[in-house]
Every structure is written in C-alpha cells, then in structure tokens.
A and B are shown apart, each in its own frame.
Chain A
C-alpha cells in the first residue's frame, strides 16, 4: 500500500519538478513571476492530444514536437510580450503573465469545451513487478522521463556555452551585458527552455491524468511552492522540492485527508517563506 502511494507520489513529484524547474529557470533568469506556467502545461497537453487524434500516433511519440512547439511559444511570449515591459513595475509584468494565462486557459475552454479528454498510450494500464511492488508502465516512464530531463537540464546549464551564459545573466545581468552576452536573447532562451520543460511534463502526464481546460491550474500554483522551497533560481533545488512535495501531498492525501492535501502544501510554503525565504537548500547547490 505504502509503496504504491510512494510511486504515485513520485509521478506527481516528477511533474511538479519539471514544471517547477522550468518556472524557476524563468524566475531566476528573467526575474519575473510567470503565472502562465499552469496554462502552458494545459496547452501542451492539448497540443499532444490533437497530434495524437489527427495522426493516430502514440502520445509518447509527440514529445519532440510538443517540446519544440512549446519552446517556440515560450520564445515568442518572451520576445513579444515580456521584453517590452522589463523596465517597468513588477505588477505590470506579473499581470501580463496572468493575462496570458487567462487567454490560454479560457481560449482552450472556448475552443474545445469543458469536456474531459484522455489519450491511450502503448503502455495502457500495464504494470510490472519492481522489488515486489506493482508499478504502472506509464508511471515508470513519467518518473524516469522527468529524471532524465532534469539531468539534461543540469548538464546543459553547467557544461554548455549557452548554459554558462544563462547562469551569468541570472547572477548579474548588467555584467553579463558588459561581457558581451545578448541578455534579451538569453531571456528568451530561458523562457523557451522553461516552456519546453512544461511541454515534456504535459506529454509525460497525459497517459495518466485527464485533459481538460483547468488541468494546469493546480500545477501552476504548486510550481510556485516548488520554486520557493527549492530556492529562487536554483534549478536542482526545485527538482528535489518538486519530488518532496509530490510525495508529501500523496501520502497526506491517502493517510490523513484528501481534501486538505493541497492546503498542507501551502502551509509548507508559507512556513518556508517566513523562516527560510532563500529556500531550504543551501546556497552552495545553486547553479544559476
């Protein structure tokens, strides 16, 4: 019983990690609170759903298309909507991302209706035995996929030239500009990567979760908790925090109260904000 709760907690945690790490990258680099992260997750899920419906391919095969499409969308959002307001008040940036979220979420509702949709992957409801536990194939794919993507992001940020530029901009954008880095382009790339991570998360989750216009709301909100818990701009911190929150939420939901399982996350959030606003992970772990 506990083992299966743990597995579904890890799936949820993996999704939280991807969405949260993406949000944290945007937060750390562009320094804006992206309220549209949850709406982008929903959009990615519909994106994948329509490709599956039209081409009749397995949902997992849509991963590269969705990831690239979402990256382009993120790039466009940053260059057309966020870059012009970078110098303005925090509220206007924040309200713009909220406007994007309203537009995407309710646009989906208007276009595709409130019906709950789902896709069937090759894995279906198959399970396999792992250390004596029954694990769903799609659950295992989600957990592994999230881990691989987070690892790739880590390698990209630390080993590649662009990753170094991203880290430089997140630490000191003025100095980065002086060093010859095209800061606005880095912003756009960070936003694109953050959106692509959400795209990956949406493809990994749709064989398990239902697709409907409001599906992203909870994930978008919890991504904030992931960010604060992991430390602003700390991508690995966010990944660990995401897993921690997913597992905690699932355990709390099963053993204490299903209804209060989201409230407990907010409580953790508020306590963290008050006592360790720099996040629970030490600074040494910060990459960006």
Chain B
C-alpha cells in the first residue's frame, strides 16, 4: 500500500506540476476570480457583515495554506499552529500598547519571534526524531504552554480578560477609517501565501519536503537533509501564521488568548486544510471558502442555544473524516492532468 503510493507520488514529482498544464482557460478563470474578489466590497452594495465574512475566509485560507506547507508537504501534523497566530498577535499588540511601536513593525517583529520560537522548539523535536504521534503531541504541548503562559502573565498580557487595542485612525498604526481596507490587506497576505505555497511546491525545497513525507529513510539515503526540510516547513508555516495573527488583532481591535490561540483554533486551521485537501496549495483556500460561511451560519442560527453550532460542527468534522479524508482536492488526485493543476 505504502509502496504503491510512493511510486505514484514519484512519477508525479518528475514532471513539475503547474497551472500551465491547465492552459489559458485556467489563467482566464483565475483572473476573473481575483478581480471578482477585489471588486466584491466596492462594486456591489454589500453589507459590511459579508465583507467581514470575506475577511475571515481569507484569514483562515491563509492559515490553512500555511498549515498545508508543514502538514501537507512535509507531512508533519502540527496541532499547535494557533500558538504562532497568538505569538504574532501578542507581539505586535504588546509592542503597540506598551511601547507605542507601530503594528507594522510589530508585524515583522512577530514574524521574527515566531520563526525563532519555531526554530528553538522545532529543532530538538525534529533532531531527536519525534515522529508521527509524538510530534503531534509535542505541538499540542507547545500550543498549550504558550496559551497557559499568556493567560497566566496577566499583568503584561491582560490574561484571560484580554486587552482592547487603542484606536487611533492612522494608516501608520495599521488602523484605517474605512474598515474595508482590512479586506485588501488580508487579500494581499492570502495571495502571497498561496503564491509562496505554489512556488514552494515547484521548488527543490518543496520536493525535498514531499520526499521526506513519503519516505523519510529513503529521502535521507538520497542525500536530503530531513531535519532541514522539516524545519523549513515548520518555520515557514509559523511565520505566515504570525503575520495573519497580527492582522487579526488589528482587525478585531481586541485580543485574548482563547480567540487567537486556543486548541479549537488549531483544529479549525487543520480542518480547513484537510477539507480542501492539505497536499494542494489551493486546499486551505477551498476549505476556508466552504467551512467559514458554514460556521458563521451555524453560529448565527443557534444564538439562543450556545454550543449547538459547535456540536453540529463536530458532527460535520466526523462525517467529513469518515467519508472524505483526502479533502475535496484529493478527489482529483487520480487524474494525471488535474493532479498537476492542483499540485497534489
């Protein structure tokens, strides 16, 4: 079973997958979709609520795509991804609130700190060969430690009460009079993430990650540094998640541990990636487009009975995993042409 999968994987690796194989209709389609996304908040007279849903979709699409790099490409199922979202959000917010440093600089600082923490934690985890379940458990611990520390040091972080961000209309402070601007900022973050993921899939580093995922021992024998491949994926995903975290804090202007870094957020990120198809650079996006509106709808339908929406969400999760464990894009993996297009 394992071997068969590995050989079919190998044949697809030899031919670089890409959008070219889809021909011009694909490029036209992409152009139309992108223009549609860009025009959505201004061209139609939409309520801000829908713009907000759009922002959430792109936020989770970014996180899902980033998770796809570490979970899908490198095959390292990190369950603590929300920790990095939290690190990004808290770094920029604390710098802004305590030291009056612009969140734009905080964005960079959060990404750097996230990279550092991912490296410091990831290095020993991978170095000592924590695989599979152990790695998953290690990342659960990482996420929970960071969550607990943030909650506990309430004098600095505001603890579980959270911190409201001060509002000063100033683009230099990442705050805009017109809230639609946030839509375009997250659009840029999202499209960059998808682009990075796409380029990575076609690069040498990306192939090394796939090789490590499919057969670690064979990859090592083939001269690939397993440690480097895993660490690169882990750090890259962490950095992107941190950037999304900073954005999110600035967007909702309030920050507490459970909105950005709870275990539930980590699982939501994985769910988005898995539903779309975590091995594809489009998986996170597709997953978010489907899942976020559903969760918003459930939440607004069952307002008088809190818990119902998340319970139903659990049912959806179970049913999905039972019947479509490879995600939607995974359905295309048996067609050679489509396989290249979605980059499975």
Kindly list chain A residues whose C-beta atoms are within 8 Å of the C-beta of B128.
274-275, 277
> Do residues B317 and A98 form an inter-chain contact, with CB atoms below 8 A?
yes
B125 interface hit (Cβ, 8 Å): yes
Within B137-163, which residues are at the interface with A (CB < 8 Å)?
137-138, 140-142, 144-145, 148-149, 151-152, 154
Min Cβ gap B271→A in Å is 7
Within B275-325, which residues are at the interface with A (CB < 8 Å)?
278, 302, 305-311, 313-318, 320-322, 325
Kindly list chain B residues whose C-beta atoms are within 8 Å of the C-beta of A88.
325
Kindly list chain A residues whose C-beta atoms are within 8 Å of the C-beta of B314.
98-104, 106-107
Bound complex: CA of A14 vs CA of B271, how far in Å? Answer: 34
> Do residues A225 and B311 form an inter-chain contact, with CB atoms below 8 A?
no
Bound complex: CA of A84 vs CA of B322, how far in Å? Answer: 7
Kindly list chain A residues whose C-beta atoms are within 8 Å of the C-beta of B136.
33, 90, 94
B36 interface hit (Cβ, 8 Å): no
Q: For chains A and B in complex, what number of residue pairs have CB atoms within 8 angstroms?
A: 137
Bound complex: CA of A185 vs CA of B3, how far in Å? Answer: 28
> Do residues A99 and B318 form an inter-chain contact, with CB atoms below 8 A?
yes
Kindly list chain A residues whose C-beta atoms are within 8 Å of the C-beta of B71.
91
Nearest-neighbor residue (CB-CB) of B315 within chain A: A103
Bound complex: CA of A263 vs CA of B325, how far in Å? Answer: 34
> Do residues A109 and B307 form an inter-chain contact, with CB atoms below 8 A?
yes
Kindly list chain A residues whose C-beta atoms are within 8 Å of the C-beta of B313.
102, 106
Min Cβ gap B267→A in Å is 5
Interface centre among B124, B148, B305, B321 (most CB of A within 10 A): B321
Interface string of A163-175 (1 = CB under 8 A from B): 0000000000000
B167 interface hit (Cβ, 8 Å): no
Nearest-neighbor residue (CB-CB) of B264 within chain A: A102
Interface string of A93-132 (1 = CB under 8 A from B): 1111011111111111110001000000000000000000
> Do residues B317 and A259 form an inter-chain contact, with CB atoms below 8 A?
no
A162 interface hit (Cβ, 8 Å): no
B133 interface hit (Cβ, 8 Å): yes
> Do residues A270 and B138 form an inter-chain contact, with CB atoms below 8 A?
yes
Kindly list chain B residues whose C-beta atoms are within 8 Å of the C-beta of A22.
none
Kindly list chain A residues whose C-beta atoms are within 8 Å of the C-beta of B302.
110
